[in-house]
Structure 1
Amino acid sequence: MHYRIGTRGSKLALVQSEYVKRRMEEAYPEDTFELVIIKTTGDKVTDKPLAAIGTKGLFVKEIEEELLSGSIDMAVHSMKDMPAECETGLTFAKAWKREDCRDVLILKTAGSFSELPSGAVIGTGSLRRACQLAMLRPDIQFTAIRGNVDTRINKLMDDSYGLDGIVLAAAGLNRLGRSSEITEYLDPEVVIPAPAQGVLAIETAEVNTELLDKINALSDDNSDREAVAERTFLRLTGGGCHAPVGAHCVTKDNGDLRMVVLFGNDDCSRILRIEVTGTDSEAVGHEAARMLGLE
């Protein structure tokens, strides 16, 4: 069989899609795979913060339309960019092995977050990141920044932007081979990552069960259980780009799940954090939402 893999055209998206393509080719040498580049709303509108654009699924809508039309057979996304609800007729494969879920800082001159001078300016397009870091350092300023990894790092190094640092996902830098540029890794228990950060979302049509089975055969059980718990919580918050939502689930040595979550309002004046444990992924997500009064 010949399969078409839909992807955004950014360097990171292509690296991720090439990785999926390579693993599928190795596992299924009788099949062939090609990448199809699709431009999304999030790629076209780069001068506004995500929360200001006003729609969920900024990086996926056009790709999902191609999936539903049958123009492509599967699509690769960053799971943290995906809407809480899967589009009708589409489904996600089980998660493969998760990359590092942490947020990281790349600082221009300071050696660590704690060493930043009062009034320093940090660039991030994420309300979740800004809210949590502001709680730790209320003397620091945050400004919206958009663009791919290269664009953001270039803005940091360009003095005209007045940035002292930027916040990025470790997973993206690792996949791009740029982890040496990281100044500091942020503790995921302190700065809680986005739900399913570091997980690749591999999406197919629900009816394409043969392809789905092939993808699922390469999944990682712990990564999948953790992603399901975090995404269940995200769905119950109604979360997207408009409110700070974080979730960090880990599998303990005994197989139980432990998850810390964050939920707040859009001006960061009210931020709630709780911790839950359990054995069933969806139940853990539901319990976290229940404890926050969200269901």
Structure 2
Amino acid sequence: MKIIVGSRGSQLALTQTKLIVNELSKLNPNVDFEIKVIKTKGDKIQDIPLDKMNDKGIFVKEIEEQLISYEIDMAVHSMKDMPTKMDERLVFPVIPKREDSRDALILKNNLKLEDLSMLETMIIGTGSKRRSYQFKASYPKAEFEPIRGNIDTRINKLHTQNLDGIILAASGLKRISRENEISHYFDEKTMIPAPCQGILALQTRTNDYQVIAVLSKVEDRCSRIQYIAERAYLEEIEGGCHAPVGAYCEINGDKITIYAVYGDEQGNKLIRDNITGATDNADELGRTLAKKMKLALEESYEKR
């Protein structure tokens, strides 16, 4: 049996795909895997900040089209890049073990986090409103510069441009073995990450039971619960446009707590809240929290 795996061509995307393929190969020695690189719209357009682009599927559309047309058999994406609405012919049948969900700060000139409060000004590289608004809540002097490109490009910009630091997903840095450059890991409750950050999306055709059976061996229960809770929150909040949205599900035995942040596009309002309940109710809890926070944001404007 041969399985053609679709992937973006960036260093991180290919590293992630190879990690999954290597794991699947060990568990399925009779299956031959081939990686096919597919260029997406997001790869082609590098001069526009992500929050200025309206296409939610900017890193996935072309790959999904090849899945639907049987040119590939499965795809590996970053789950946080996936739109909340998906073609019913496609599915995420398996959720593999999550990598580190936290955001990470890389600082220039051997600075430490505690040094930042002593700076008169600071410029942090990030194109994410979720990251910049949360960071500014702790460091009001901070200014932000949107940066695009792969991880190597962003780290290079830190050292060649007028930046004091950059914020990136810890999972990506770890996957390409650059975690030694991290100055600080943000706690998930302080800097709430993007929903499903650190989770890989293994995508197949809904009716391709042979491929699904091969993938089933990497299913991880805890990561599945987190995926359900955080994805439900995102679907209900529908903040996929340009609003800052973060959600993180913490598992404690048979209970979960979902921590979330939600705000307006301008960063004038940023609401934090959490909800606790049974793991079996992960979807319902995520949606309940999203509805509550949407209402709270609306009411905050009515009181002005």
**Considering the TM-score relative to the shorter chain, is it more than 0.5?**
yes
Q: Alignment partner of 1:98: what SS?
A: coil
CA deviation after TM superposition for structure 1 residue 48, in Å: 1.5
Equivalent runs, 1:102-117 vs 2, <5 Å? 102-109=102-109, 111-116=111-116, 117=119
Q: How many residues align?
A: 292
Equivalent runs, 1:43-58 vs 2, <5 Å? 43-58=43-58
Deviates more, 1:241-250 or 1:4-13: 241-250
Aligned to 2:126: 124
Is the Cα contact below 8 Å between 1:250 and 1:257 reproduced in 2?
A: yes
What are the superposed Cα offsets for residues 254-287 of structure 1, whole Å, 9 maximum, x if unpaired?
2211110111111111111111112222111112
Q: Alignment partner of 2:258: what SS?
A: strand
What letter matches 2:232 in structure 1?
T
Distance 1:171 1:272, change over 3 A: same
What letter matches 1:289 in structure 2?
A
Distance across 1 between alignment mates of 2:113 and 2:41: 33
Q: Alignment partner of 2:218: what SS?
A: coil
Is the Cα contact below 8 Å between 2:124 and 2:145 reproduced in 1?
A: yes
CA deviation after TM superposition for structure 1 residue 191, in Å: 0.5
What are the superposed Cα offsets for residues 41-90 of structure 1, whole Å, 9 maximum, x if unpaired?
11111111111122101111111111111100100011111112223311
Is the Cα contact below 8 Å between 2:92 and 2:202 reproduced in 1?
A: yes
Equivalent runs, 1:248-267 vs 2, <5 Å? 248-252=248-252, 254-267=253-266
Equivalent runs, 1:88-167 vs 2, <5 Å? 88-109=88-109, 111-116=111-116, 117-158=119-160, 161-167=161-167
Unaligned regions of 5+ residues in structure 2, if any? 297-304
Aligned to 1:87: 87
Aligned to 1:291: 292
Is the Cα contact below 8 Å between 2:89 and 2:205 reproduced in 1?
A: yes
Distance across 1 between alignment mates of 2:288 and 2:191: 21
Give the TM-score normalised by the residue count of structure 1: 0.96
Aligned to 1:276: 275
Distance 1:215 1:239, change over 3 A: farther
Q: Alignment partner of 1:217: what SS?
A: helix
Aligned to 2:8: 8
Distance across 2 between alignment mates of 1:206 and 1:154: 41
Runs of 4+ in structure 1 over 4 Å off? none
Give the TM-score normalised by the residue count of structure 2: 0.93
The Cα RMSD (Å) is: 1.4
Distance 1:164 1:278, change over 3 A: same
Is the Cα contact below 8 Å between 1:7 and 1:63 reproduced in 2?
A: yes
Distance across 1 between alignment mates of 2:187 and 2:110: 18
Is the Cα contact below 8 Å between 2:9 and 2:37 reproduced in 1?
A: yes
What letter matches 1:20 in structure 2?
I
CA deviation after TM superposition for structure 1 residue 216, in Å: 2.5
Is the Cα contact below 8 Å between 2:237 and 2:291 reproduced in 1?
A: no
What are the superposed Cα offsets for residues 151-198 of structure 1, whole Å, 9 maximum, x if unpaired?
00011110xx21111000000010101110101101110100000001
Is the Cα contact below 8 Å between 1:50 and 1:241 reproduced in 2?
A: no
